Structure 1
Amino acid sequence: MTQMQEQETADATAQAVDAASRGCPVYRSNPHPLYRHLRDNAPVSRLTPPHGVETYLVTRFEDAKAALADPRISKDMYAAIDAYRSIFGDSSIALDDNMLFADPPKHSRLRRIVNRAFIPRRIEALRPRIQEITDNLLDRCTTLEPVDLLSSFAFPLPLQVICELIGVPESEREDVQKWCSVVARTGFSKEDKARLAEAENTLREYFEVLIARKRKSPEDDLLSVLIQTRDEQESLNDGELLSTLWVLLFAGHKTTAYLIGNAVYTLLTHPEQLERVIASPELLPNAIEEVIRFEGSVENATFRHALEDITIAGTRIPKGALVQIAVTSANRDPAEFESPDTFDITRPGLQSSHLGFGTGPHYCLGAPLARMEMQIALATFFRRFPNASLAFPVADTEWLKVPFPAFRGLTKLPIVLDPSKAIDDWASGLPGAE
Structure 2
Amino acid sequence: MTPLDPTVKSLITDPYGAYDTLRAKAPVHRVVGPDGLPVWLVTRYPDVRQALADPRLALDRTHAAPGNYRGFALPPALDANLLNMDPPDHTRIRRLVARAFTPRRVAALRAPIERVAEQLLDAVEPSGRADLLASYAAPLPITVICDLLGVPEEDRRDFRAWTDTLITPDPTRPEQARDAVKAMLGFFTGLIARKRAEPADDLLSDLIAVRDEEGDPGTEGTGDRLSEDELTSLAFLILFAGYENTVHLIANAVLALLTHPEQLAALRADPELIEGAVEEFARFDGPAPLAIRRFPREPVTIGGVTVPAGETVLLSLASANRDPGQFTDPDRLDLRRRENGHLALGHGIHYCLGAPLARMETALAITALLRRFPDLALDVPVERLRHRPTMRARGLLELPVRF
The one of 268, 275, 288 aligned to 2:265: 275
What pairs up with 1:329-348 in 2 under 5 angstroms?
A: 329-348=319-338
Paired residues, number: 394
The one of 258, 261, 265 aligned to 2:251: 261
Change (3 A) 1:117 1:159: farther
Q: 2:148 & 2:81 partners in 1: Cα distance? A: 18
Letter in 1 for 2:55: P
Structure 1 equivalent of residue 221 of structure 2: none
Letter in 2 for 1:130: I
The alignment's C-alpha RMSD in Å is 1.7
What pairs up with 1:16-165 in 2 under 5 angstroms?
A: 17-18=2-3, 20-80=4-64, 86-89=70-73, 91-144=74-127, 146-165=129-148
- CA deviations 1:230-251 (Å, max 9, x no partner) are 2221221111011001100111
Structure 2 equivalent of residue 241 of structure 1: 231
What pairs up with 1:307-346 in 2 under 5 angstroms?
A: 307-346=297-336
Question: In structure 2, the residue corresponding to 1:398 is in which secondary structure?
Answer: coil
Normalising by structure 2, what TM-score? 0.94
What pairs up with 1:266-415 in 2 under 5 angstroms?
A: 266-350=256-340, 353-402=341-390, 405-415=391-401
Structure 2 equivalent of residue 214 of structure 1: 195
Unmatched segments (≥5 aa) in structure 2 = 216-224
**Which stretch shows the higher mean deviation, 143-152 or 53-62?**
143-152
- CA deviations 1:140-164 (Å, max 9, x no partner) are 1144253111111101111111111
- Moved >3 Å (runs of 4+): 78-85, 91-94
Contact in 1 for aligned 2:101/2:203 (Cα 8 Å)? no
Contact in 2 for aligned 1:390/1:416 (Cα 8 Å)? yes
1:172 offset after TM fit, Å?
0.9
Contact in 2 for aligned 1:115/1:365 (Cα 8 Å)? no
1:217 offset after TM fit, Å?
0.7
1:116 offset after TM fit, Å?
2.9
Question: In structure 2, the residue corresponding to 1:278 is in which secondary structure?
Answer: helix
Q: 2:69 & 2:264 partners in 1: Cα distance? A: 45
Q: 1:146 & 1:331 partners in 2: Cα distance? A: 33
Question: In structure 1, the residue corresponding to 2:349 is in which secondary structure?
Answer: helix
Unmatched segments (≥5 aa) in structure 1 = 1-13, 418-434
1:21 offset after TM fit, Å?
3.5
Q: Indicate whether 1:205 and 2:186 are aligned.
A: yes
Q: 1:32 & 1:401 partners in 2: Cα distance? A: 16
Question: In structure 2, the residue corresponding to 1:253 is in which secondary structure?
Answer: helix
Question: In structure 1, the residue corresponding to 2:397 is in which secondary structure?
Answer: coil
1:28 offset after TM fit, Å?
1.1
